[in-house]
Structure 1
Amino acid sequence: MKTFLLPDLGEGLTDSEIVAWRVKEGDAVELNQPLADIETAKAVVELPSPYEGTIAKLHAAEGETVDVGAPLIDFELAGDEAPAPSGSDASAEDEPAPSPEGGPVATPADTVAEVRDAPAPEEKPEKVSVLVGHITVHGGKPTRKRRAWDVEPFTRQERPSGRPNRAMPPVRKLAKERGIDLQSVRPSGRDGLVTRADLEAAGTASGPQAQPQPASTREKVTGLRKHTAAAMTQSALTVPHAATFHQVDVTETLALARSGDASFLALASRAILLAAKRWPDVTAAFHADTMELERFAHINLGIAVSTDRGLVVASIDEAESMDALELTAAIKDRATRAREGSLTMAELTSSNITISNVGVFGVDGGIPILNPGESAIIALGAVRRMPWEHEGEIVLRDVCTVTVSFDHRVLDGREAAGFLADIAAVLERPALALAR
């Protein structure tokens, strides 16, 4: 019997939620076969099996939060054998046998002498399975050897038809609030997940719910929302935030976006990247423990994406090397995979400056809190048609409020204002944004 403890999946987490089990008790599993979908602070990931054997016991149910280091699964390992008898349990077969010719029986002393004179048997190394690769033990001393993987990928067996419906935490919450039984809903999501649209369809088909709704409900904050709450609290309490605003005439940028293949957000991103080259400290990181300022060789642009699980910042690495069309494709890719929960850990942690397009929610602007480890975040407000002075006349123009929130330990007011003014200059003359 081997007990598998929930590991830290690389984010420094203290716990994770079991979204869905891929196996059940009694199932035979292979090494690295997916065991469960685990919700971490930033994504839903597959947990691979560290052993080959049989599932003896699952220590947690779906939807339950498990502490890192707590028992998760008991395995009956393949090839487990009972220990050989020893000491007083030795059978009569262990007694010395008479010689075939009826000669004298070999005494223990004679046996010891023969063993001493005989050559030592070749020591066989012992293999010990671990989570990644394996360890070979020679003479009681472990040495690690990289595992040679088979080229044929593992094919997961189809789940039994009787498996309960599954859903992401926000959908489960909505179903609970509306009194809808998930098992009565026909799922349409990826891997058989019940989606918000499925609940809407089920509610329309069944009509108004007869059960009265409670005055209030409580739900434990876990996963991404728990991580975001802690990170934003830490950022707000430890970083001296300051902000500067500017209303920008984006008429030409908006017209360019409508007439071409580059999105407005991609053109605005190009403006930010060009301005950041002139003000490199906006992408620097301040290390308070050592009082050092770390500057980076590339600009990794973070895109804030709102998902059902909460806010995610997806990074586009080395964004300064991309043109507007490449940025358009990259932003679309990151936003899609952020909502699917399929971004890699590197894509969720490598940004050094962030842009938040709050205008898509219909607001004119705001003061965003810095993404931990970064020195600047830019908020784009909604584009409004309003009277504006243009070439000596008052005319209707498309105007957007741009906000730069910054770490006052890294940037002062002059640098932040200069950075914002350069962003505005490019947005007012968007042809500059098309240049590399």
Structure 2
Amino acid sequence: MKTFLLPDLGEGLTESEVVAWRVAEGDSVELNQVLADIETAKAVVELPSPYEGTIAKLHAAEGETVDVGAPLIDFELAGDAPAQAPDAPAGEAPAPSPEGGPVASPDDSVAEVEAEPAPEAQPEKVSVLVGHITVHGGKPTRAKRTWDVEPFVRDERATAAAPGTAKRRAMPPVRKLAKERGIDLQSVRPTGPDGLVTRADLDAVGTASAAPAQAPASTREKVTGLRKHTAAAMTQSALTVPHAATFHQVDVTETLALAKAGDASFLALASRAILLAAKRWPDVTASFHADTNELERFAHVNLGIAVSTDRGLVVASIDEAETMDALELTAQIKDRATRAREGTLSMAELTSSNITISNVGVFGVDGGIPILNPGESAIIALGAIRRMPWEHGGEIVLRDVCTVTVSFDHRVLDGREAAGFLADIAAVLERPALALAR
């Protein structure tokens, strides 16, 4: 028997949730065969088998959260010898016969043992479909069937109603109506002749008891999996990082027209604008380590794309995004969004970003102040694109305008740096040809 403990499937995770088992107790499994789908803080991953053998026991049910290092599966390994009874020690006398008959000793190996006559065959009772039969000497005999019949005697004392609690009487149509309305006839005061309950009596009671139960004022649902970890991460970020934010309304008419006319998406063009601005303001991708009071700077820009999924919010990273043009970014963004919703992103793709973009405009809102992804110093939110009057070329005309927000870690960036970074993003979005250049 070998017990498989839940491993750490991510970076310092303390627990994971069993989403679905791919095996059952008693199944034979091969090495590296997928055993279960396990949800970590970021994604659903497949758990491979570390052994070849048989599943002896599953220690958790689907939907259950298991601590890292806790027992998950018991295996009967292939090649394990079954337990055998130990051989009797040399020289030990043999156990007596269970029938109490003579037992041959080592010295009796040649002697004959007198055989005792076989005991007389006892009758055998065999159950059949109805009753039973007795087999004696190979001849079946059916037993006689008997019934104990007792006369029924009404206990008048038990059926007599107590004063004031006599069973209500009503005509069949009235009883049917009472059943449809969910009214107990015993609770109705009769007004009909001879104590009959009438339809008017039911109407007087009303149909409140028959009304469907109202929905509860509130319900509670256990927060598990990705949403639980996201809640913890956002709480830690909001409470430990001094957030600040700056806004800018940007004329994105040319960028939107370019996206509609070509193969690059608006989000990819906006990402190119962020990447170009990050070259001038490299600290927007830095990370502040409070435990050592150090600022860590990175050689590449790993762009995080915030994706809303059925399981919660996921940030998928496009590593070394500054090396890609708008068309490459369009393909990468589509790939990350698809796999994020499928839950097939790798842990590296979910943890390597150093700056994030969130396109909240797809939900129809003008903007917002996003919370920083833990370990990052800036996050950019794109609002909805609105057609509005705008000064352009010395005239008031209708233009496509988008509100861009930058939330930042005030320990890393000050207002001047954040404002300069945002202004450079706006400049590229207003002249989108720059976003297509490497």
**Under a length normalisation based on structure 2, what TM-score does the superposition of the two structures give?**
0.70
Are the equivalent residues in 1 in contact too, given 2:367–2:384 (CA < 8 A)?
yes
Q: Tell me, in whole angstroms, the C-alpha distance in 2 between the residues paired with 1:14 and 1:253.
A: 45
Aligned to 1:69: 69
Once the two structures are superposed, what CA deviation does each residue of 1:336-371 show, in whole Å capped at 9, x if it has no partner?
Answer: 000000111111011010000000000000000000
Identity of aligned residues (%): 91
Deviations 1:210-241 (A, max 9, x none): 99754432221111111111111111111111
- 91 and 231 in structure 1: CA distance in 2 versus 1, 3 angstrom threshold: same
Q: Secondary structure at the match of 1:38?
A: strand
Partner in structure 2 of residue 293 of structure 1: 295
Task: Describe the SS at the equivalent of 1:3.
Answer: strand
Partner of 1:264: 266
Show the counterpart of 2:253: 251
Q: Deviations over 1:253-274 (max 9, x none)?
A: 1111111111110000000000
Indicate the residue corresponding to 2:157 in structure 1: none
Q: Mapping of 1:214-363 within 5 angstroms?
A: 214-363=216-365
**Alignment pair present for 1:376 and 2:378:** yes
Q: 1:17 deviation in Å?
A: 1.5
Following superposition, the deviation at residue 13 of structure 1 comes to 2.1
Corresponding residue for 1:155? none
User: Amino acid of the residue matched to residue 307 of structure 2?
Assistant: V
After TM superposition, the structure 1 = structure 2 runs for residues 142-157 of structure 1, keeping only pairs within 5 Å, are none
1:50: how far off? 1.6
CA shift for structure 1 position 83: 7.6
* Cα pair distance change 1:79/1:391, threshold 3 Å: same
Of residues 417, 423, 428, the one that matches 2:419 is: 417
The 8 Å contact of residues 20 and 37 in structure 1, kept in 2 or not, is answered as yes
Could you tell me which amino acid in structure 2 is paired with residue 47 of structure 1? L
Give per-residue Cα distances to partners, 1:100-135, cap 9 Å, x unaligned.
xxxxxxxxxxxxxxxxxxxxxxxxxxxxxxxxxxxx
Alignment check: 8 A CA contact 1:314 1:348 kept: yes
Residue 2 of structure 1 aligns to which amino acid in structure 2?
K
Per the alignment, residue 54 of structure 2 pairs with 54
Note if contact 2:10-2:40 (Cα within 8 Å) is conserved in structure 1: no
Name the counterpart of 1:204. none
Task: Report the count of equivalent residues.
Answer: 319
AA partner of residue 89 (structure 2): S
Unaligned segments of structure 2, at least 5 residues: 93-211
Q: Which amino acid in 2 is paired with 1:240? A: P
- State the partner residue of 1:20: 20
SS of residue in 2 equivalent to 1:320? helix
Aligned to 1:6: 6
1:250 Cα deviation after fit: 0.5
Q: CA deviation at 1:74?
A: 1.4
Aligned counterparts of 1:216 and 1:26: Cα–Cα separation in 2: 42
Distance of 2:426 and 2:85 partners within structure 1:
82
d(CA) in 2 for partners of 1:417 and 1:93? 95
Secondary structure of the corresponding residue to residue 314 of structure 2: strand
The unaligned stretches of length 5 or more in structure 1 are 95-209
Change (3 A) 1:211 1:81: farther
Q: How far apart are 1:85 and its partner, in Å?
A: 9.1
Q: Distance in 2 between matches of 1:329 and 1:300?
A: 16
Quote the residue 1:184 is aligned against.
none
Counterpart Cα distance in 2 of 1:340 and 1:393: 48
SS at match of 1:224: helix
Read off the aligned partner of 1:92 and give its amino acid letter: A
Q: Give distance in 2, aligned partners of 1:92 and 1:85.
A: 15
TM-score calculated relative to the size of structure 1: 0.70
Pick closer, same or farther for the CA change 1:334–1:63 going to 2, 3 Å: same
Matches within 5 A, 1:27-106: 27-81=27-81, 91-92=89-90
Q: C-alpha separation between the residues in 1 aligned to 2:383 and 2:82?
A: 69
2:132 aligned partner: none
Offset at residue 65 of structure 1 (A): 1.8
Structure 2 SS opposite 1:92: coil
**Paired AA for residue 90 in structure 2:** A
How well do the aligned residues superpose, as a CA RMSD in angstroms?
1.9
CA contact (8 A) 1:11 1:41 kept: no
Summarize the Cα distance change of 1:82–1:340 in structure 2 as closer, same or farther, 3 Å threshold.
closer
Counterpart CA distance in 2 for 1:231 and 1:301 is 19
